Structure 1
Amino acid sequence: MTTVAGAAVVVGVDGSPRSMDAVEVAAAEAARRRRPLRIVHAQARTAAREQPDEVRERAAACLAEAVRMAGKVTSDIAVTTEVVAGRPAAALTALSRHASLLVVGDRGLGGLLFGSVPNHVASHADCPVLVVRGEPRTTGPVVVGVDGAGDSAGAVDVALEEASLRDTSLVALHAWCGTDGTELTSSVAMRSGFRSGEAQEERVLAEALAGAADRYPEVPVRRHVVRGDAGPLLADWSHLAQLVVVGERCHSGLAGLMLGSVSQHLIFHADCPTTVVRAVPPAGRLGFSGSGSASSRPRLRV
């Protein structure tokens, strides 16, 4: 995840209603973080029948409307616009290297935010990706999905930060399927010779949240260990939450073309915005010392 000082919140727009919803959410996130907002319109190669002037005018109109929508949310942030060349998924992924947060809608006009684009950027981005769908709301908890494989460590950090920024509580959900694995990472076996059970799953969740109270004493944390499918369970919580946060493994090659089943389920079925946090190797993971007051401790830049 990016640690660039002053990195902007980046939002992709294509003129669709959903992308304008994403602009409003992104403006609120930028204001909450005291970050600039960067509004981006990506253009792949134009069709032969399209005139360059028409393409430029359409892009300018799209960006002007996006600026207007951002201004309805807040006037306290710096806003810039940009037209970038290239396929939308690749262009947004490249921009994520210098962003604090990347915001996209779950669907669009068939250009910037259509089909696989949210999946692609969530699988490859170098910063957290917030996918806007369902009902953006300012009440309710932040909900985070926790697995037993370490892939959710970054998601837990981001979720705690989000709950703190929103002055709300955190619900940490660990779903298990009653086998030797966890639902969020079903391919990851539990410790050799130790069959998964509720007591063990409680321990998994406790370990994932270790130090949370020291780092974020202002955030009330509720723990839920539930037997069942993580995707539908988190989607159920999304009806009450203002944000759902999940972790996503690092991918490479062909494996990186698809999100994990839980992240993908939420992108298409959640009733509130969902943030996907791509896991990074332990040596590169941002962390906290677990000491210091709420005002003095280092903060995760998201």
Structure 2
Amino acid sequence: MTDSTAAIVVGIDGSEQALRAVRWAAAEATPRNLRVDLISGVDPALGYFGAGLPIPQDAFDAVERLAHQQLTEAAAAAHEIGPGLAVTTERLRVPPVPMLIDASKKARMIVLGASGRGGFTGMLTGSTAVSVVAHSECPVVIVRDDGEASGPVVVGVDGSPTSITALGAAFDEAAWRRVPLVAVHAWSDLDYASTAPVEYALLETEPSEQEQERILSESLAGWAEKYPDVRVERIVVRDRPRRQLLEWSKNAQLVVVGSRGRGGFQGLLLGSTSQALVHYAQCPVMVVRPQEAA
């Protein structure tokens, strides 16, 4: 594996969605002087690992030639965005999930297309996407649509340690892109009824809007000093987080969320919020895991 310490890693499978991910990664890497590492894995269903009869050598060679051709095409797409961009390509005889998780140990981020074929088939509809996002040691970006070029960066905030980590990534993205940051704290009584601490269950009413404002203010404390040039818009609304974030994704460049949280974000990776963002967000989505869990 190439040393990816200062690299953005993109999973390649020959699909148009993968090329879209490449172009997004190249646009991200170019102004930051980062390298883009393009990696391709093997679908274990092809019989490379002793499952059933091995495929004929001619067929194996044809698959390998196609994979290398796809990597070459992906590198060309990256150079169209950044002509001077440092790009590496690598073909690994490893299934996509362990390949990407291993790459995440050194990568700045992992970037995946919203759907694909070959080794990445079902990437966002089955266990593969959940496994990569849940176990990645760096942020994972899922690129479905390019997003609005002039839109803001949007981040979901719930006061949890993971969302604070996501806030840091979102501020960094907004600063590099020179766009505003929209910090969204959404909650609903139903969310709190099912996920709030026991103390809240003893209250006659749900946490007040003032309490929600306090959570957002405390989460944002200190970030303005670190990123003085980033204009922040604060949104506190009684609504389901997924509905708010999906609505904001229509006009955003990027939506950033923590991998798990509390309140409305409970079970983000396995529940309805993550599924909605993965399947329906109209801009790229970055999922950030807590630093202490990396």
- TM-score, normalised to structure 1's length? 0.83
Cα separation, 1, equivalents of 2:121 and 2:243:
24
Is residue 10 of structure 1 aligned with residue 9 of structure 2? yes
2:170 to 155, 159, 171: 159
Query: How big is each residue's C-alpha offset from its partner over 1:255-285, in whole Å with a ceiling of 9 and x where there is no partner?
Result: x99534322221111000000001233xx79
Name the CA shift for 1:148/1:32 in 2 (closer, same or farther; >3 Å).
same
Aligned counterpart, 2:38: 39
C-alpha separation between the residues in 2 aligned to 1:191 and 1:169? 36
**Cross-structure match for 2:117:** 109
Aligned length, in residue pairs: 272
> For residues 275 and 290 of structure 2, what CA distance do their matches in structure 1 show?
16
Report the equivalent of 1:222: 233
**1:132-170 deviations in whole A, cap 9, x for unaligned?**
012333211000000133320110000000000100000
| Higher fraction of helix | 2
In the aligned structure 2, how far is the partner of 1:231 from the partner of 1:43?
34
1:100 Cα deviation after fit: 0.3
- Rounded to whole Å, the distance in 2 between the matches of 1:224 and 1:137 is 20
Instruction: Name the counterpart of 1:273.
Output: 284
SS in 2 for 1:172: strand
Query: Which whole-Å CA distance do the structure 1 matches of 2:199 and 2:93 have between them?
Result: 48
CA distances 1:64-88 after superposition (whole Å, capped 9, x unpaired):
1101111111112211000112221
Cα root mean square deviation, aligned: 2.4
Residue aligned with 2:40, SS: strand
Deviations 1:7-35 (A, max 9, x none): 21000010011011111111111113211
Distance 1:180 1:131, change over 3 A: closer
Shift of 1:49: 3.9
> C-alpha deviations, 1:177-197, integer Å up to 9, x for none?
136839xxx624286566411
Unaligned runs of 5+ in 1: 251-255, 286-302
Corresponding residue of 2:140: 129
**1:148 paired to 2:159:** yes
CA distance in 2, matches of 1:164, 1:141: 11
Unmatched segments (≥5 aa) in structure 2: 48-53, 262-266
Counterpart code for 2:79: G
Q: Distance in 1 between matches of 2:190 and 2:198?
A: 9
State, as a whole percentage, how many aligned pairs show the same letter.
40
* Runs of 4+ residues deviating >6 angstroms: none
Instruction: Say whether 1:90 aligns with 2:112.
Output: no
Write the deviation string for residues 201-236 of structure 1: whole angstroms up to 9, x where unpaired.
000000110111101000000000011111121000
The one of 44, 48, 61 equivalent to 1:53 is 61
Say whether residues 1:203 and 2:203 are aligned partners: no
